[in-house]
Amino acid sequence: MTTYRFWCGECGFKTPWGTESEAERGHMDHYDTRHPGMRLGGQVETGAAVPAREGTSCVVCATMAVLGLLLLVIVSACGH
């Protein structure tokens, strides 16, 4: 999923990351409030967001692998 953030061309304002339409709406609202009558300017920044829970699965897998190895070492040490 691609996320978007718009930067104001008149000041240092940046919209929060969101969908393209959410960020664009925030950009237009900012101009209406802070720079009325001015033409929209600035730039758009895009980024990739990690879907919820996708990054945590790697942590869980790594933790399980380490615990499994520790268990093997303990069982091996007790067996001798």
Beta bridge mates, 8: 42
pTM, 2 dp: 0.59
Both tokens of residue 46?
A: 């895009």
* Residue 6, burial from CB neighbour count under 10 angstroms (0-12, 13-18, 19+): buried
* Residues 32-66 pLDDT 10s: 999 999 999 999 999 976 555 555 567 777 888 88
Q: What is the pLDDT of residues 6-22, one digit of tens each?
A: 999 999 999 999 999 99
CA–CA distance, 3 with 20 (Å, rounded to integer): 7
Query: How many angstroms separate the CA atoms of 28 and 32, rounded?
Result: 6
* Side chain identity at residue 39, one-letter code: R
